[in-house]
Amino acid sequence: MDVDLRKLRYFVAVAEELHFGRAAARLRIAQPVLSRQIRAFEHELRAELFVRDRRSTVLTEAGRQLLTDARPLLASAEALRRRVQRVAHGRPTFTIAFMPGLLVTAEARAIGQRHPDLAVNVVRTSWDDQADIVREGRADVSYVRLPVDQRGLCLRPLFTEPRVVVLPTDHRLAGKESVDLAELVEERLLQDPDAVPEWRYLPNRRSDPDPRPRPELNSVEEKLEHVAAYAGMVILPLSTATFYTRPDVSHVPVTDLGHNQVCLAWAEDNRSPLVHEFVEIAARQTPQPDDRRQRGSGGAAREGFA
């Protein structure tokens, strides 16, 4: 049986909303049509996907498994559509995504010089979309910082770099040569703890020394603004901290934090020879230990490079 991607999209909408009315509005179709499509999909799969009554809609075990598998499958289909459209509508393009603090200028120039007819673009990503951007076909490759959801991705490790704590300049720990996590136990971590897994297991750490809700921070700039305003601290890779310099915050190495791993990621179903050529370029451009700090702190690549 071939899986109907349209019905799969309908299923994902209902699974995420757990409400047929909201899912129908999100999909811009009538609710009875959506209900019929889901029943037909269940019949095709020979599996019940939802337990529904007048009060609630709940995923079955089969539904939970399908949702896990459906998202990367739909992302792969969307990436395929984007790649075909780019080739069909004029000059071929190659898009490189990168996280804040990383430089991709040399690699972008190298692939462009090898293929003069290729339009090379770069785009900055964030913690939230650094992997999705390649899964969805919005970029051909992405320089990511682990950990990431690796489903549907191929990864090539490139290098590691230290992590530092960013604090207000007049903080009691600012200016020290280094600190360890135990010295930060009373501080408030502004990031999602998933970004600093070691924080969860820190002995004697209170759940949150500040009763206020953790702010939603979507960029490095926002994080640094909150640090400067004494709202808490953030943990960043060294190259990110040194690139975003400002007089009201400072960074200190954290001795017992593992280094941040930087990898090149691409969609596992992207068979483009350009991707594999770029992977080799990136591997050769990987900085040596004595020049990683210089490479990461000298500036960021600009969007629209070609």
Mean pLDDT to the nearest integer, 110-121: 92
- Which numeric CATH code is attached to 91-159+260-297? 3.40.190.10
Q: With 80 as the cut, is the pLDDT of residue 204 above it? A: no
163-168 and 249-253 beta bridge pairing: antiparallel
- Which numeric CATH code is attached to 5-77? 1.10.10.10
Q: Count the neighbouring beta carbons within 10 Å of the beta carbon of residue 219.
A: 13
Comparing 106-110, 145-149, 204-208, 296-300, which segment has the lowest mean pLDDT?
296-300
CA-closest candidate to residue 3, choices 61, 47, 36, 35: 47
Rounded CA-CA distance 75/136 in Å is: 5
Contact 181/101 with Cβ under 8 angstroms? no
Q: With 60 as the cut, is the pLDDT of residue 211 above it? A: yes
Question: Burial code of 72-102, b = ≥16 C-beta within 10 A, e = fewer?
Answer: bbbbbbbbeebbeebeeeeeebbbbbbbbbb
**In the beta sheet, which residues pair with residue 267?**
153
The domain limits of the chain are 5-77, 91-159+260-297, 163-253
Confidence tier at 210 by pLDDT (50, 70, 90): low
Q: Could you tell me how far CA 122 lies from the centroid of its own chain?
A: 16
Q: What is the pTM of this model?
A: 0.66
**Which CATH superfamily is 163-253 part of?**
Periplasmic binding protein-like II (3.40.190.10)
pLDDT digits (tens, 9 = 90+) for 248-284: 999 999 998 989 999 999 998 888 899 999 999 999 8
Rounded CA-CA distance 32/52 in Å is: 14
CA-closest candidate to residue 99, choices 249, 287, 237: 237
Mean pLDDT to the nearest integer, 121-140: 90
Mean pLDDT for all residues in the chain:
85
> Which residue's structure tokens are 């594999």?
276
pLDDT value, residue 92: 81
pLDDT value, residue 176: 93
Could you give the percent of the chain with pLDDT greater than 70? 87
The two domains 91-159+260-297 and 163-253 share their CATH topology (first three levels equal): yes
> Which residue's structure tokens are 């990136």?
282
pLDDT value, residue 86: 66
pLDDT digits (tens, 9 = 90+) for 60-109: 999 999 998 888 888 878 777 776 776 666 668 899 999 988 999 999 99
